[in-house]
Amino acid sequence: MTLIKSISGIRGTIGGQVGENLTPIDAVKFAAAYGTWLKQHREKENYRVVVGRDARISGKMIQDLVMNTLVGLGIHVIDLGLSTTPTVEVAVPMEHADGGIILTASHNPKQWNALKLLNEKGEFLDAVEGAKILELAESNTMNFADVDSLGKITKNKAYIDLHIIEVLDLPLVTVKPIEAARFRVVVDGVNSTGGIAIPLLLERLGVDVIKLYCEPNGHFPHNPEPLKEHLTDLSDAVKKHKADFGIVVDPDVDRLAFMDENGEMFGEEYTLVACADYVLSRTPGNTVSNMSSTRALRDVTEKYGGTYEASAVGEVNVVKLMKKNKVVIGGEGNGGIIYPESHYGRDALVGVALFLSLLADKNISVSELRKTYPNYFMSKKKIELTPDLDVDGILKAMEERYQNEQITTIDGVKIDFPESWAHLRKSNTEPIIRIYTEAKSQQEADTLADKFIEEIGHVANALV
């Protein structure tokens, strides 16, 4: 299972068999399906698509295949080259384009890549639109342009700078107080495009930047998912340089985590909590995160008189509920900040600017800031999928086992207990079942997760 077609895009490993991995043929097929869908969806004379990539080793190869496939369909391409997911999202409406494609497998290791597909608003496609593209990819109905109607590729390297300008212009980003605070920050760019964008943003804000793994060569120095166990080098650098805090992003810069001045994790889940605290203190309103995110966001939202609601996992689901509830900020507990004042996409640049504004305003250390929030602890575990596992059967059985508790089934099975919760779901991006739990201590959260993993094992054996 190394080619995954889902709401989050077309994701797979490089090399191997056609149809089983993200081979050049698969990249062309899905790019052609997207371009065909775009032309059917938009129905106009000229079509434009923005394309950018993270720094993965396979990125240029996949991007060239994708762009030239679009050219073959008669679509004009704006090539951003090395970019970030939120930068491409911002560029689509700025360019008055019909859509966008980002070549990135987000937090997955270097052998993975993916096509993330955007609409004309620079937002991810919904499940219905995604299903149509998958259907087109398996058909032979794609019709390419004749030789006089081919598209053109135009390079534009300015968009990271334009994105930074857009962030600095946000009313709640307090540039002068941040400059006056003279922060010192270590940035772990995991040798991808965050190593370009985040230091540039910080330098514009007068921050003293110490770069760690900021060479965009695609050779990830550690597992690129921004979790504590992968960030010992960042912890050491923060302490060595006596920095105010550390920043780490994933390869495509839509996830953001902080480390305090002692080299301890601020908590990936608390990135959104802190940014929401700042935004809500100035623009009270409602919030949304996904079902696998901490209860702390609910607590902070209610403190300011707002209403919190949880969506199914997946950025498009979060955005849909955010629009419905007219929220002022939302996102995902994996460090994904979605701030509608900027755009409806997870954006680490926006998150960094809001966090710095909060710190400059409160004039306290990052460790002191963390103590001001409700203390919840989360365990994030997973079970590798094998062909014999009946995931739907397992989730149904778990739902029945806990039918006397508060159950939510819009995305897998979430079981809410008075002082804790557990969320069991099949991943959109990896061949795994995710088991997320949250409780009032790390030991309780880990114990609860292990209990569910054991139960799932028993249920799976019973279903075979």
CA distances from 388 to 280, 437, 461 (A): 47, 25, 10
Can you name the residues that pair with 290 across neighbouring β-strands? Answer: 311
Q: Are 60 and 218 in contact (CB under 8 A)?
A: no
Both tokens assigned to 87:
């930068």
- The residues assigned a catalytic role are 106
Helix (H) / strand (E) containing 435: strand 432-439
User: 51 exposed, middle or buried (CB, 10 Å; 0-12, 13-18, 19+)?
Assistant: buried
Question: Which residue from 16, 282, 301, 302 is spatially nearest to 171, judged by alpha carbons?
Answer: 282
CA dihedral 392, 398, 401, 406 (to 10 degrees): -110
Residues for the chain: how many in total?
Answer: 464
Strands, E assignment, 281-412:
287-290, 308-311, 329-332, 336-338, 377-384, 406-408
Q: Are 453 and 436 in contact (CB under 8 A)?
A: no
Helix (H, G, I), strand (E, B) or coil at 349: helix
Q: Are 77 and 98 in contact (CB under 8 A)?
A: no
Q: Are 61 and 26 in contact (CB under 8 A)?
A: no
